[in-house]
Amino acid sequence: MNEIAELVIARVVPRGDGFAHWRGRAVFVPNTAPGDHVRVRIEGVRRGVLRARVLAFLARGKVGAEPFCPHAASCGGCALQWIARKYWPFLKASWVEAAFRPFLQAGARWRGVAIPTGPRRRVVWHGNGRHLGFFGRGSHRLVVPEPCPVVEPRLSAFRAAAEARGWAQARSVQAVALQDGVYLVGDAKGLAPVQGASCWAGRPLRALAHARMLAVALPTPHGEIRVEVPPGAFVQATRRGLATMVKTILRWCAGATRVGDLYCGFGALSLPLAAAGAEVVGADADQAAVAAGNKTARRLGLHARYFAMDLAKAPDLQAFAGMDVLIVDPPRAGARGALRMLGRLVPQRLVLVHCDMAAAAQDARVVASCGYRLRELVALDLFPGAGHVEALSLWVLE
């Protein structure tokens, strides 16, 4: 299929593609904004949907804008640069609202706008032997934006420093800026340490010279606590985003004495609750993250215990029965398996965290069928410029 067509973009869907119709079929068109009139080449079908490439803009929609990064058309990281920044919070909120619309009954709190949270502090670069950069959109072609306008500036400096030290031989390099330093984590052996960073490499990970464990500072009702983050562990992409999530969950969990945390990682969302006086039990498949959460709990004298458990394989969740609050922060595919056990766990309140709105809608249906009602919904923009949004939802047992 290789046809030329003229389309009007009806809307932009999650992940950032423009959506239009052609001959009665749906077409995804990247690098566009709602209302754009475009001439495109229909290039084929992927995942059951026609895909097209813009050849020319015949007219721009009211929310359209010129990209602020010269690499926008080639880089795979910022699908929304063809939309003016001021509209991003409303667009991303519309994705969240669409996922939860059947459950937004009267009385449910919903702001209708995604909260901006600042530049990204976590990136993954890929190496081609000479350079570190990002994969191009839908390809493995390397793009080297210097500097990248949507990440914390010091990460761009570390990208250049790591490249100079030979880290481009790694297939992937994760860089994370935390409160007390920057992690560089590469998947190749024989990498040299980069000055100023805590460097780890290989599989399994090995500390390079002078590497140390880093931490995040998280809010609690009594001030901040320092929570250890092991190298390679998942941490939310922006500083303000994680802090906003924690503060929201602290408010939602006020008065709770027993809290469960599924997909807990190193305890970022539940250790602040333990610091507020709750007894916390958590589980995650990442053994290093679980060990770090337990280490922090012991150091701070908190009543929190975390267990290594593969939650995708019908786990035994009896330790989580009867909680005041159950927090569920699953990977992109959602938590349908664990949530099907709600009828036996029956927490009084349920906090869901989702980064994929299709999975969010799926999980919301399961939760509602178990007798829970949506009380509050929050959208966070943790990936400025990208076609992703984070949703936090509070559910109560009726």
Q: How far apart are CA 359 and CA 144, in angstroms?
A: 32
Q: Name residues whose C-beta falls within 8 Å of residue 160's C-beta, 6 or more positions apart in sequence.
A: 146
Q: Are 232 and 199 contacting, i.e. CB atoms less than 8 angstroms apart?
A: no
The owner of tokens 């079929």 is 25
**Interval 40-96: pLDDT, tens:** 999 999 888 999 999 999 999 999 999 999 999 888 789 999 999 999 999 999 999
Amino acid at 389: V
Does 231 sit behind a cis peptide bond, omega within 30 degrees of 0 on the bond before it? Answer: no
Same domain, 107 and 144: no
Same domain, 95 and 219: yes
Q: Give the residue from 213, 230, 255 where a domain finishes.
A: 213
Same domain, 238 and 196: no
The owner of tokens 């490439």 is 53
Q: Could you tell me which of 353, 313, 315, 348 has the C-alpha nearest to residue 332? A: 353
Same domain, 334 and 247: yes
Same domain, 90 and 234: yes
Same domain, 149 and 239: no
Same domain, 227 and 359: yes
3-state secondary structure of 154: helix
Element (H, E) at 397: strand 390-397
- Enclosing domain of residue 366: 86-118+215-397
Instruction: Flag whether 177 is in a domain.
Output: yes
Same domain, 159 and 304: no
As for how many domains the chain has, the answer is 3
Question: Which residues face 215 on adjacent strands?
Answer: 228
The owner of tokens 């100079």 is 164
Instruction: Flag whether 73 is in a domain.
Output: no
**Model pTM?**
0.95
| Exposure letters 120-130 (e unless 16+ CB within 10 A, then b) | bbbbebbbeee
Angle at 109 between CA 105 and CA 114, to 5 degrees: 115
Same domain, 155 and 104: no
Same domain, 348 and 391: yes
Same domain, 165 and 271: no
**Interval 208-239: pLDDT, tens:** 998 999 999 999 999 999 999 999 999 999 99
Instruction: Flag whether 136 is in a domain.
Output: yes
Domain harbouring 388, CATH code: 3.40.50.150
Same domain, 223 and 204: no
**Interval 139-174: pLDDT, tens:** 889 999 878 999 999 999 999 999 999 999 999 999
